[in-house]
Structure 1
C-alpha cells in the first residue's frame, strides 16, 4: 500500500507505526480517521472533515467512462487483460451477490448522482514501494453524490472495486465520505499450488481465482508437472516407473503421446484456456510452471532414455535428446499460455552436474527470448554461483524458496537479479507435518510478526530469523511474494477442499502484507469473517443457506398428489424429486436404477447427514452422491462402507448388514470425518474415516481427512430401503 498521488489530498497513513485501532466501540469503517479503511488489504483513506457516509443501497448505477471503456492494461503479465467495461460488468454482478445491491450498467463521461463512476486516471504517477511505475494503483472518492474509482489502468480500477465491496460489507452497507489513493507495494502477489501431485478440477481453480482476486492477489502459479519425491537411488528402475507423477496438460499432438496424465486428470487446451480466461476476468493471471530438469519423472516415464542412471526423476542434461525434448514440450504448450512470463522449474537438481544445469537454464532462457513475442522466464533459486563462475543470465527471475538453497541478498539481489520471494517460512505441504515437516496451514502469527527486525512480514523478508540477510523494503530487485502449497505425499493425502482450507483463514492476512497493507492482527481478526462472507463468485466453503440447524429433512411420506415430489420438512424448501423409485411406509425402495434428486450438491464443514438404511443385497451402490464426494456401501469387490473424494476411496472397517435396518450418521467435524452406525438392537459405534499416508517409502501412517457431505442424489445404484434423511449444519458426534 503506497500513497503517492499529487492530484488528491495527501493522506494520513500509518505505515511504519504500530497502532491498535480495534476497540469494541468502533465499527471497522470508523478507523478511517486514522488514515485508512480496515479492509483486506487495508485501504489508505482520509475521511472527510464533515463526516457522513454513503449508503450503498442509494447507488443505482455503475457508469463506465466511455472514453476508456475499451482500454486494457498493457503493463501486466496477462496477454488477455479485460477492458474497463468488462471489469465493470463483473463488478455489477458482484454488487448483487456480495451486497445485494441491484444496479444498472451504463456508459457516460462523468459521474452522476447515485452512481459508481469507473474511469482511468492518466495524470497521477502511481508507483510501488521501490518507485517503479504501477498500473495497479487507483484513487477512491466517496461523496454524498456517489463514488468515483479512477485507476491507473482498468486493473487498478478493478482493485478499487474490491475496496468498495469490502468497506461496504464491514460498514453495514455504508462507506464514509472521503478520499484515498492506493497502490500495491509489489507487482507480484499470490500463491502457487502443486496441481501435479494432486489433481484439481477446473471449477476449483477458477473459484480460487475469485478468492485471490477479492484480496487483490494477481498471480496464481500452477505447478503443472512433478512426481512424488521418493529417494530413487534406493529403489529399482521398475519401482521408480510406478511412482506417481503428473503432467496436467493434455495435447493431441502425437509427438507427445504418453506424456500427459489420464484424460480425467488433465486439462485440454480448451479447458485450460477457460481457466485462464475466467481468472483474468478477475485480475488474476495463471502463471504456468513445467518442471525440469529435476522432478521430471513424468518426462522420463515418457522417454526413459532421458533419465539419469542413478535417479530417473532427473533428466540427463548431457543426453543429446534432452534439451530438444524439453523445448518441444514448451513449443507445444507455449501457445496455450496467456501470459508473457513462464516458469521452467529448475529446482533441486543433482549438485554433481551444476555446470550443465546452468547451461540448461541459460539455453531455455535463449529459447524463450527467441519466441514471438519473447517470453520472460522464472526459475527456482538453485546453485547460486560465485562472481568468477558462469551464472544464470540475469534476465531470468529467481524464485527463492529456502535458505538452504540460497541466501537471497548476497547470492542474487546484490548481483543484480530480480527475485520473487516464496520462502518456506510460508510453505504448506499437505499432511507432511506428521513427521515434523512443513505445517498444514499458514502461520498467522508469522504473517503479522514475521519480520526479524520487528513488525509484520513483507515480501522483502527472505530470512525470518536473521534480519541482516534481508534487503530493504524498497529494494528494486524484489518483485513480490508467492506463497506455495505442495502435495509431496500425493493425491490421497488431502481432499481438494483441504487445499483451500489450508489457506482460508490466513491467506487474506498475507495478502495484506503482499500488497503492502498495515493491518494489525487484531484488526484482521475483527473483520475477517464479515469480509470472507462477501467473497463473490465462489462457494469454496460449500455452505448452504438454512433457516435453522436443519438444512433438509425428507420423511418420505407418500401421497398420490405429490407426483414425484418429496417434501422437505426443514422449512428451507429444498424439496427433492423421485426418479422412478417407490415409497411405502415412509421408506424409499431403491432397485439399483432409480434414485432421488435434490436441489443441493455438497455440504462443507461442519455437518451431520443422518439416515436409516436396509440393503437387500450386498451389491455395492451409492447411498449419496455430490459434486465433491460419494458415499457407497462398498468399493469394488470390497463390502466396506466407503466415502470417496477426488477419485480417492476412504473406507472404514464396517459393512452394512443385509436385510436389517441400520441408523447411520456421516459427520464432518472440522478437519475430521466420522461414521456412526447403530444396528437394530445394537449399540451405536463411531468410526473415524481416515486416509492412509504413504510416507515416501518409509511406511504408512493413518491421518485425518475432511470430506464434504454428498447430497445431490440419493440411492443411485443402491438396492434396498432408506428412510428419514436429515442434513444438518452442525457436527453431532
Structure 2
C-alpha cells in the first residue's frame, strides 16, 4: 500500500521532491557525522548506493494536508507543512545553486513520471516519543531508496527536522546513503538564552541567530528582555527594557526608544523563528534585576538595593501585572519566563507569594504557564507552586534533583556547563568549555554531558534520563559588563560552537547508542557552520581567490569604478561626497584590509557598513586617532596618535574573532581593546571590516584592497602586486 494512503483515519500528507539517485556498486555507505546525530540509521539490505541531487527538482505538497499545523510543543503559531516546504525549497536552492526547485500542491497518490521521488508525510503511525515516553510531533522517519526518498513525520515540525537531516547529509557528503533513518528528540527543550537587556541587539541579528540555531534542531530561543548592570552605588546605571509599550502609561519604562523593539518587529521575529521550528521564550525580569523599573518608579525600590522591587509596597505587584498585561498579547508561546531570581531572602514569603500570584495572573490573562530561575527562598511556611517550571542555574540557589523528586518540572541551565559571560568573567568562560562538555560530565569518570547531568561531582544527584520532570536544557549567554564590552556580532562568535553541542545532546542523550562523539563533531562542525542556510552571521563574501575586492585611483567623476580583484564587485563614485559606494556590506573574519588615503586633519569616517564603521576620531586631549564605531559606541585606539599631512597614509586592518589590529605606514599602531567596567582590565574587540561606503569629505581614497585571511602588513605593496596572494 502506498505510504500516502490514509490508514485508519490517520491524518497526514506528503511532500514530494524529485531528484536523481545513483546506484553505486560496492558496500553500503555510512551516514556522515550529522549534528545532531540521528537515533537510528539502517542501511538497505542487499543494496548500496546514494541519493544525489539533480539540476531539476520538483517539490510537491500533498493537497490533503498542505495546511496541517500539527505541533504539540510550546509554539502558538505553528507553521503549516506548506510553509515548511517553502523554507526547505529556499534552503535547498541556496545550498545547491545548480538546482532548480518547482514547488506545487498536488496529489501524491498519482506521481508524475520523474527519475526519483522524495515524499514527506505526516502520520500518526510514526510513534515518536521523548526519552520520558511522552509523544512528540518532532519525530520523523527518512527512507532513502534507489528511486525515492520518503520523510514520514509525526508533525509538521518533525518533517522540517527531517529536511535538516537530509540537507546536512548532502552538504557534508554530496550524497545521502540508501537506508532508513528513525529519529526524534529526547527532550522538548533544546535551547539557548541571550541577555538582550544589557546589550542592544538589532532585531535582524536575533532573527539570523534563530535561523542559525535551527540548522541544529534547536527548539527554543530564550530572550532575556530586561536587566541592568551592577549599579555599584549608581542608581542611574545602565538598565534597559527592550519592548516598546503602546500604552502611554508605561512610557517611562523605555526612555531610550531607539533601543527597543516595536510590537510589529517582535511579532515578525517570532514568526520568522517559528518558520524554522524555533519558539521564542520571552523573559521580563522581576522582582530582582529590576533597576529599569525602579528608575521609572523609584518608590517601588527596596531601600537596601535599587535593583530589587519592594514587594511589600502596595503598588509593586499591580505595576508588574500592568507590564505583563501589556505584553502578554505579543507572546506566541504557551510558556513565558518572569525571571524571579536573586531576590532578598528576608522577604522569602513575599517572594513566593508574588511568584504564585504572577503564575495565576498570567494563566488567567493568557492561558500561559510560567518558568522562573531557580531561587532558594528560606521559608518554612510558603513555597512556589508545582505548576511553575524551574530553570536551574546554580546549586547555591536550588537543588534540581530535589525539585524533580518533589514534582517540579526542571530545565537544566547548570552554570558549570552552560553559562558564558561576554568578554570577561572571573567565574565563567567566554565560550562554552568544550572539554568539559565532551569529557567532563563527571569529575571522576568523565563522559559526555547531556541535560540529565546537573552535578558533575556526584552522579547519584542526577535524575534518570527518562524522568518526566526533566524538560531539557538551555545554555545562557550573559552581558554582565553592559553594552560597551562587546559588539552584537561578537555574541555570535561566543555562541556558535556551543549552540550545536547543547542542541545535539538535547536531541540524543549521551547514553544513546548512536550519540555524537567529539571527533565526529569536530569533523563536521566547520563545514556545517559555514553552510547554515538563511543567514550570514559570519559575514562571508564569495571570492574567486584570496583577494576579495580592490579599487584603485584615479576614480571617474561618475559611473562605474571597476573591482580589480576579478570578482565583479564594481563600485560607484559619488563626486558630491568623494566616496565609493560598493555592492558589499561587511567582511567577516579572518581578513586583511589595505586602505591608502590622504587625510585633511579632521575627524571623519573612512569606511562604513551595515554593522560598523571605521575612521579618524578625536581623543579627549584633542589628538587624532583611529576608531571603530558599533551600535553608536565609539572605540578609540587610545594609545595611538595619528600623524597626518599632505602625504598618503597607509592603513592596514587585520581582523580575527579574537581581535582587531591596526598598522599605519608599515608599523603596528595597536590593537583595539575595551576597558571592562571602567577598570584597568582590558579585553580585545573583534570588528568586521566595513565595505559599503569607502571614503568621505575629510579624506581622499587612493586605494582599497581586501583579502581573506591574515597577511603580512609589510608585504601589501599594491593592488596589482597583491592580486596573486
- TM-score of the superposition, structure 1-length normalised? 0.88
Q: 2:608 aligns with which of 602, 625, 644?
A: 625
**Once the two structures are superposed, what CA deviation does each residue of 1:347-391 show, in whole Å capped at 9, x if it has no partner?**
10111111100011001011011124x1110001001668x6421
Contact 2:75 2:333 in 1 (8 A): yes
Give, in whole Å, the separation in 1 of the partners of 2:124 and 2:56: 26
Deviates more, 1:627-636 or 1:471-480: 627-636
Q: Secondary structure at the match of 1:264?
A: helix
Q: 1:96 aligns with which of 81, 90, 93?
A: 93
Q: 2:689 aligns with which of 700, 703, 709?
A: 709
Q: Identify the residue that residue 461 of structure 1 maps to in structure 2.
A: 453
Give, in whole Å, the separation in 2 of the partners of 1:171 and 1:261: 52
**Once the two structures are superposed, what CA deviation does each residue of 1:561-618 show, in whole Å capped at 9, x if it has no partner?**
xx4211111010111001125xxxxxxxxxxx342100100011111111112112x3
Contact 1:84 1:154 in 2 (8 A): yes
Change (3 A) 1:163 1:31: farther
Q: CA deviation at 1:124?
A: 2.4
**Residue 693 in 1 paired to residue 673 in 2?**
no
Change (3 A) 1:635 1:330: farther
Q: Secondary structure at the match of 2:629?
A: strand
Q: Identify the residue that residue 666 of structure 1 maps to in structure 2.
A: 653
**Residue 640 in 1 paired to residue 635 in 2?**
no
Q: Secondary structure at the match of 1:631?
A: strand
Contact 1:39 1:527 in 2 (8 A): yes
Q: Secondary structure at the match of 2:306?
A: coil
Q: Identify the residue that residue 205 of structure 2 maps to in structure 1.
A: 204
Give, in whole Å, the separation in 2 of the partners of 1:51 and 1:390: 64
**Residue 720 in 1 paired to residue 711 in 2?**
no
Contact 1:615 1:657 in 2 (8 A): yes
Q: Identify the residue that residue 568 of structure 2 maps to in structure 1.
A: 573
Q: Identify the residue that residue 33 of structure 2 maps to in structure 1.
A: 38
Change (3 A) 1:370 1:706: same
Q: Secondary structure at the match of 1:525?
A: helix
Q: CA deviation at 1:336?
A: 0.9
Contact 1:607 1:730 in 2 (8 A): yes
Give, in whole Å, the separation in 1 of the partners of 2:529 and 2:108: 33
Give, in whole Å, the separation in 2 of the partners of 1:303 and 1:230: 16
Deviates more, 1:361-370 or 1:36-45: 36-45
Contact 1:63 1:115 in 2 (8 A): no
Give RMSD over aligned pairs: 2.0
Give, in whole Å, the separation in 2 of the partners of 1:74 and 1:525: 33
Give, in whole Å, the separation in 2 of the partners of 1:62 and 1:177: 20
Give, in whole Å, the separation in 1 of the partners of 2:190 and 2:632: 32
Q: Secondary structure at the match of 1:327?
A: helix
**Once the two structures are superposed, what CA deviation does each residue of 1:378-413 show, in whole Å capped at 9, x if it has no partner?**
001001668x64210100000000111111111x10
Give, in whole Å, the separation in 1 of the partners of 2:706 and 2:304: 54
Q: 2:597 aligns with which of 608, 613, 638?
A: 613
Give, in whole Å, the separation in 2 of the partners of 1:107 and 1:329: 44
Give, in whole Å, the separation in 2 of the partners of 1:165 and 1:651: 44
Give, in whole Å, the separation in 1 of the partners of 2:52 and 2:287: 56
Q: 1:432 aligns with which of 424, 431, 436?
A: 424
Contact 2:294 2:301 in 1 (8 A): yes
Change (3 A) 1:418 1:31: farther
5+ unaligned residues in a row in structure 1: which ranges?
1-6, 8-29, 582-592
Q: 1:291 aligns with which of 278, 282, 285?
A: 285
Q: CA deviation at 1:636?
A: 8.7
Q: 1:48 aligns with which of 27, 44, 47?
A: 44
Change (3 A) 1:59 1:478: farther
Number of residue-to-residue matches in the alignment:
669
Change (3 A) 1:31 1:307: farther
Q: Identify the residue that residue 396 of structure 2 maps to in structure 1.
A: 404
Give, in whole Å, the separation in 2 of the partners of 1:167 and 1:207: 22
Aligned residue runs from structure 1 range 501-650, under 5 A: 501-516=493-508, 518-558=515-555, 563-580=558-575, 593-616=577-600, 618-634=601-617, 638=622, 639-650=624-635
**Residue 416 in 1 paired to residue 407 in 2?**
yes
Give, in whole Å, the separation in 2 of the partners of 1:712 and 1:352: 56
Q: CA deviation at 1:115?
A: 3.1
Q: Secondary structure at the match of 2:351?
A: helix
5+ unaligned residues in a row in structure 2: which ranges?
1-6, 8-26, 510-514, 713-725
- TM-score of the superposition, structure 2-length normalised? 0.89
**Once the two structures are superposed, what CA deviation does each residue of 1:106-131 show, in whole Å capped at 9, x if it has no partner?**
22343744333222012222111000
Give, in whole Å, the separation in 1 of the partners of 2:50 and 2:378: 57
Runs of 4 or more off by more than 6 Å in structure 1? none
Q: CA deviation at 1:37?
A: 5.2
**Residue 73 in 1 paired to residue 60 in 2?**
no
Give, in whole Å, the separation in 1 of the partners of 2:507 and 2:55: 31
Q: CA deviation at 1:684?
A: 2.1
